[in-house]
Structure formats: structure tokens, C-alpha cells
Structure 1
Amino acid sequence: MHRNRNLIQRALIAGAVLTALAGCGSAAGDHADEALGTKGAVKPAQPQQNMVKGLPGMPPVLDPTDVYAADRPGKLSPAVKDFPSRVYVPNTNSNTVSVIDPATYEVIETIPVGAQPQHVVPSWDMKTLWVNNDKGNTLTPIDPKTGKAGKTVDVHDPYNLYFTPNGKYAIVMASLDRELVFRDAHTMKRVKSEPVSCYGVNHADFSLDGRYFIVSCEFSGELLKVDTEKMKVVAQQKLPYDGAMPQDVKISPDGKRFYVADMMADGMWVLDGDTFSKPTLLPTGKGCHGLYVSRDSREMYISNRGEGTISIFDFTRNRLTKKWHLPGGGSPDMGGVSADGKVLWLSGRYNSEVYAIDTRTGTQLARIPVGSGPHGLAVYPQPGRYSLGHTGIFR
């Protein structure tokens, strides 16, 4: 009896030692500092929790409780750390891109591009900025190191552009063609076209594991769920609001919810992406349009284009906490957050201007004249390991 008890005790001790050694040797421990750099950032998961089976070929998830763990202030990838800090503004009516120096708040260059540039999109490897010339049916590459434009690439109806999390494909939101077009991420050669039955595919975001993404259909008020690996629409639903016009899409830091801005419902829809549940509406303001996450993953900035305001949503409290008003009004649209997290940059779609807003106080720091119809501006470079597209969704 004593001998059996001793054997059991030895087995328990050995198991405890093995568990401790496994914890010390976990590769996830190499990323223990990823959440540093912002006071009060969301606490990273423990190494033993960091087991997410992602899309094949996708970089491993740093923290299953925070998809934005790689986006902390100043955490620039070696691929972009030497790029000059700039704000690239596509002017849809002027067929140009205005380049702003954020240190001086001045336009330092105007680059001619194709017809109706809609968004400036960082490539998956973050080495190229693609200007989406929607009516010109081309993409204009810009080298963010030199600021120079390269030779255009023929791509039909490129309203918006995303990249699969494994970097294999670019996904063109062909709004008028009613297609999701999967192309080689580097050459832009067409690989597969997925027809859609909704109208106006425009914005998207990916699940925590990268295995699916949610797409908004602006003109028919619908949402799509797309299997990333199969490149196929697997679910579709109509938003429960007459005249809905969904815009930007963003996932919560914990990956449990998706938020969809709706400029006609004047708020953002909240839904479970995994179950693709019926969404609920959170009113934010007239013309709700763009969604941008703070560098500490605690807040989301929501541009209300129809009333010249920015609403602040607190992820940890699950509610709106503040609303900033632009002096004299304006039409805040699309944009991004500065690398240090201190400035929110937004285009003024109907005012031919760009707004720089202090993220600590909501104070307008600058109002910069640009071309006509500024839209999906890109703040560059930004922290992160790779880009999922749009004006800069980094993970």
C-alpha cells in the first residue's frame, strides 16, 4: 500500500515538472512583449492558451484574446521601419493622390493616377501601396520608401482591395461587376471569380483564424460570409433595416463580434461572425461610415460622415463613451490611426479636406485642403506583421 502511494506521488511530481518545462519552452513566450508600448493595453493571453488553428500558411496568431496584438505603438515591422511617415489621400474626383507630411500637416506632393481612385491599400507584405482606380480599371503601385508611382496594372472594377491572411491572394471588391475576384497577391493575375447575388460589395474583415471573412453589400443592404480557403460565399443575409447601406467592417479584439457601419441606419450593426447571427443596431450618428481601432485595442473610432462627428466605442465596457465634434462640421469618412496612436486621420469626403484629430482629447489638430472627393486614405507606415488590405488592417 505504501509502495503504491509512493509511486503515485512520484508520478504526480514528474507530471508537474513536465508541465512546468512545457510552459517555459513554449514558442508563444517569444511574443510576451507584443502588448507592451501602450499603457493599459489588453492583457495578452497565457502561452498555453495561444493555440489557434489558423488558415493554412497564415502567420500564427499572437494572442487569441486580441487580433490587434501586433499593432502596438511604434511596433514597426523591419519591412517598413525605414519608410517615411506619410498620409496618402486618393481624390476620387481629381484622379490624384495627395501626399501629406504628418509632421507639418502640409501636402508635399500630388500624384496623378487613374480614373476615380477610391482607396490606397497596403499590400500583404507591406512593401507596396496599391491605389484602386475604380473607373480606370487599374491599380497604381506606389513605393512607400520613395513615394514614387510605378506602372499601372490592369484590374477591372477595383473598388476596394483585400488580402487573404496567408498572403496568397488579393481579393478585389468588384462592386459593379458583382464579383469577389481572387487574384495572385503579387502579379494580380486572376485566379478565381466568385459571383455574388447582392449589390455593391465594398468592405470586409477576417475572422481571428482567418478562415472566413464578412463582406458588406452597400446597395442591397446585405452581408456575406465567405470561406477564405474555398473562395466561396457560404452564407448571406439581409440587414433588418429598410434602406440599409452597410459600409466599413471591423472585428472585435477578442474575435467574437463583427461591427458593420451603416450610413443609412446611422449606426453600426453587431453580430457573431461564427454563427452569422441576426445583427443588432447600435446608433452612433448620422452617416456612420468608418471604423478604426485604437493602438491599445480598447476603443474604436467611428466616423459619422453625415454630421461631422466621431463616436468612441469602448470594447471593454461594450458601449459608446464619447462623441467628438469637428469644429464647423465636416464629412469624416475613411482613414487610419498614426503609428504612435496619437492621431486619427480621416478624409473629408464632401469638403475636399483631411482631418487630423488628437485621439486623447478629440481636438482637431489640422484641417488640410486636398483634391476633390477624398476617400480611403492610408496612414503609412503602421505597426503590424502583415496587411489584410483596405486602408490598413494590420495583424
Structure 2
Amino acid sequence: MTLKPLGIFLLALPLAAATVRIIQTNSAGDDVSIIDPVTNKVVGRITGIEVNHGAAAAPDGSRFYISNEAESTLDVVDGKTFKVIKSIPLSDHPNNLGISKDGKRVYIAIARGAGAVDVVDTVSMERVKSIPVKGPQHNTYVTPDGKFVVSGSVRSKVLTVIDQKTEEIVWTLELDKGVRPMTFVTNPDGSTKWILIQVSDFHGFEVIDFATRKEVNRIKLPDTPPGKVAIHEGGNISHGMAVTSDGKTLVVNSTLNSSLYMYSLPDLKLLGGADVGVAPDWVTLTPDGKRAYVANAGQNSVSVIDIATRKEITRIPVGEVPKRNITAVY
């Protein structure tokens, strides 16, 4: 069996082709919710991880990797029993994480200290290095083609791109605001075309051209509609994005408006939006790109959105303050 983490860019697999699970961390609790997107029910729980943050899945389905903020560890979870089998000490307090396409490396954003991306070898289950970067790190990703690790700092406002094979920094870019969630738009050959970045105190996202390493566009999300209460809680007023498997639609959370907005790609035209729960913080998609699962940090729930109709299908109760989530296929 092969399991693939799909939190930011999804492979074109039909939903019925394999078992699909939404892995939902709950940042103010000690459990991780496992959702079946066929029934839209919580079908399992990983317990005993206090202040869990980021999640990744091994390609063979044998393990989940969860960043543990309370203990500053990467917790390794058995994929069948959902039990923690090892806690790997990190260099400092972690935030989000990413995994290499072959599953041999996990890259963890270290949110305290001078700044680092910790590297865990999943064979030895040990931290093997820390890559020094500028400023405490918030989120770490692996590009859809697997060639680069991309990390960002809120404090230093620096985007860092690392060669995945050599694990050396190849370029950096200082933005005008803190670097928060990202997603990727690809070229026809699968290489990275754009990095889309949500930044501090901006209700929208920036578009960074990967080849030229420059900002080429900045998109502002809709204003709060009349009669709707603006929400000022959570990490940022816009937090969480994803691209559908066909590369044609971008979905973007608005924490401010408690909404999920859809944009066409590559022209970045607003298609519309859907109301979700309070303070959406992250979003992941089903492999067919038809549904979005939005973590409502202010309401302890996950909204399920039909992307074509832009309607909420249901709302799933989960743990305390849900934030990062991923889609796993096996």
C-alpha cells in the first residue's frame, strides 16, 4: 500500500480508488482526529500528543509524523494502531513540517531560537541535522516535484528555498511582511511555477515567481460583507491555502470573514466563496479536488465544502482548536 500526504497539492486520484483519510491536528488538546471523507465522521484518534501542530504521513502508510510543541519532539505514530512509538527530540520548539516524496526525510520548522529547519531521518528515526536559516520558522513544505524544501519566517520575513537532495540553501527572498502559509502552482512539466504566500496582516496572498524569485502579483480577498461580523482571532486574518489536483482552482481561507474563497488558475480570478466555521486556520482537499476540509480553529470543527457549488456540506466536530490538516491516501 502507498500513502501520500496531500496537504498543499494533490495527486489526480479519484476518491473511490483508495482509502482516504483527513488527518486533523488539534493544537490546544492532546489528540489528533482522523476523518473518513466518505462518511465525514471521525473514525480514529491519536492520543497523548500535547499541543500537536503539524502532520505528515509515510508513503507506505506505516507511520504518521506529528510535531509536538509541548515536548519539542517529532512524535512517530504507528499507522495501524495510532500509538506513539517514538518521540524524537528536536533542536527547539517546532511548528509545521513537511516530508520528502520518498518518505526518508521529515523537515520541521523550528519556531524558536536563531532559526532552523530540523531534518529527521525516518529510517534511523533520529534528528540528523539542523539547517540554519534566518529567523524562527513557521511552516515548512516540500514542493510538488519533490526537489525543494521551502520554509518561511514570520519574524525575519524571509522565504528560504533548500535543495532537497543536498539539503543546502539555494536562495532566499526577504518579503515586506511575515511569511505564513504557502501553496504551489506548477508548470506543465511538474516543476514549480509560483509560490503563493499568505503574509502577516494582509487579507490575501502574494505570488512569487519561482524562476525569477520576485513577487509578480498580490491578490486581496473580498472585504467583510455587510451584516457579517469580522473575526480577529488566530494567527492571521488569512491563513491556509491549497490547489486542486487538476491545477485549475486555488482555495484560500479568510479568517477575517470565516469564509473559503475560490480562485481560477492561472488567471487568479475570484470564482466565489463559501461560509465556514469561526476562524478557519488551514485547509486540505480530497484527491479528486471536489471537496475542501477547513479547520475551524474558533469553533472546534471542520467544515466540508463542495468546491464546485461553493456550499458547506456538513460540519464535523473535532478536538480543541484544530489547525493544520493533511489528506492521506493509501
Same fold by TM (over 0.5)? yes
Partner of 2:299: 351
Partner of 1:303: 253
Partner of 1:149: 83
Return closer, same or farther for 1:330/1:252 CA change in 2, 3 Å cut-off. same
| 2:98 matches 1:162 | yes
Partner of 2:219: 282
Q: Distance between the aligned counterparts of 1:308 and 1:263, measured in 2?
A: 17
Deviation at 1:325?
A: 3.1
Q: Tell me, what secondary structure is at the counterpart of 1:377? A: strand
Deviation at 1:347?
A: 0.7
Contact 1:205 1:249 in 2 (8 A): no
Provide the TM-score with structure 2 as the length reference.
0.81
Deviation at 1:218?
A: 2.1
Q: Tell me, what secondary structure is at the counterpart of 1:159? A: strand
1:89-100 equivalent positions in 2, closer than 5 A: 89-100=24-35
| 2:193 matches 1:256 | yes
Deviation at 1:191?
A: 2.2
| 2:157 matches 1:221 | yes
Partner of 2:227: none
Deviates more, 1:357-366 or 1:329-338: 329-338
| 2:267 matches 1:324 | no
Partner of 2:283: 335
Q: Tell me, what secondary structure is at the counterpart of 1:104? A: coil
Return closer, same or farther for 1:166/1:106 CA change in 2, 3 Å cut-off. closer
| 2:40 matches 1:105 | yes
Contact 2:26 2:32 in 1 (8 A): yes
Return closer, same or farther for 1:167/1:368 CA change in 2, 3 Å cut-off. closer
Q: Distance between the aligned counterparts of 1:215 and 1:151, measured in 2?
A: 27
Tell me the alpha carbon deviations over residues 360-380 of structure 1, each in whole angstroms, 9 at most, x when there is no partner. 111111112222111112333
Structure 1 portions without partners, runs of 5+ = 1-66, 383-395
Q: Tell me, what secondary structure is at the counterpart of 2:152? A: strand
Partner of 1:375: 323
Deviation at 1:88?
A: 2.5
Partner of 2:179: 246
Q: Tell me, what secondary structure is at the counterpart of 1:152? A: strand
Deviates more, 1:252-261 or 1:195-204: 195-204
Structure 2 portions without partners, runs of 5+ = 1-7, 224-236
Bigger share in helix: 1
Provide the TM-score with structure 1 as the length reference.
0.69
Contact 1:215 1:249 in 2 (8 A): no
Contact 2:180 2:199 in 1 (8 A): yes
- Compute the RMSD of aligned alpha carbons: 2.7
Deviation at 1:117?
A: 0.2
Q: Distance between the aligned counterparts of 1:314 and 1:216, measured in 2?
A: 25
Tell me the alpha carbon deviations over residues 91-132 of structure 1, each in whole angstroms, 9 at most, x when there is no partner. 111111123333333334443222210122112444322122
Contact 1:94 1:373 in 2 (8 A): yes
Q: What is the one-letter code of the residue matched to 2:13? A: R
Q: Distance between the aligned counterparts of 2:144 and 2:76, measured in 1?
A: 27
| 2:107 matches 1:171 | yes
Contact 1:225 1:276 in 2 (8 A): no
1:53-202 equivalent positions in 2, closer than 5 A: 70-74=11-15, 81=18, 83=19, 85-144=20-79, 146=80, 148-156=82-90, 157-177=93-113, 178-202=115-139
Deviation at 1:263?
A: 4.5
Contact 1:216 1:260 in 2 (8 A): no
Q: Tell me, what secondary structure is at the counterpart of 1:306? A: coil
Contact 2:67 2:96 in 1 (8 A): yes
Q: Distance between the aligned counterparts of 1:86 and 1:170, measured in 2?
A: 20
Deviation at 1:190?
A: 2.2
Contact 1:335 1:347 in 2 (8 A): yes
Bigger share in strand: 2
Q: Which has the higher contact order (CA 8 A, sep 6+)?
A: 2
Return closer, same or farther for 1:380/1:238 CA change in 2, 3 Å cut-off. same
1:38-53 equivalent positions in 2, closer than 5 A: none
